[in-house]
Amino acid sequence: MIQVEAVVRKWGRSLGVVIPKETIMKEKIEENETITLLIGKKTNVLKETFGTMKFSKSTDEMMREIDKELWPEE
């Protein structure tokens, strides 16, 4: 499965999306073939970017490590 960004356009009395040619070639999509689309509306770009990041350590643990690197105890 591949993620593609597309613009919704008016198509008669409906709305439609155009699948980019590169995606069609890469996924070997053919006419009259049934495909599945996962639809998600972009709302907050920053939240989408940073909200999906998962860390194995807590923020406090990472900050303590950074402090140790910047100001080593002598």
What distance in Å separates the CA atoms of residue 17 and residue 7, rounded to the nearest whole number?
6
State phi, psi for 17 to the nearest 5 degrees.
Answer: -125, 150
Q: Over its length of 74 residues, how does the chain's per-residue pLDDT go in tens digits?
A: 778 888 899 999 999 999 999 999 999 999 999 998 888 877 776 766 666 667 788 888 888 888 888 887 76
3-state helix, strand, coil in the chain (%, to 5): 35, 10, 55
pLDDT at 48: 66
Going by the DSSP 8-state scheme, the letter that residue 22 receives in this structure is H
Tokens of 26: 């890469």
25: amino acid identity, one letter: M
The pLDDT value given to residue 34: 92
28 close to 35: Cβ distance less than 8 angstroms: no
Token pair of 68, please?
A: 């140790």
Q: So what's the pLDDT on residue 52?
A: 65
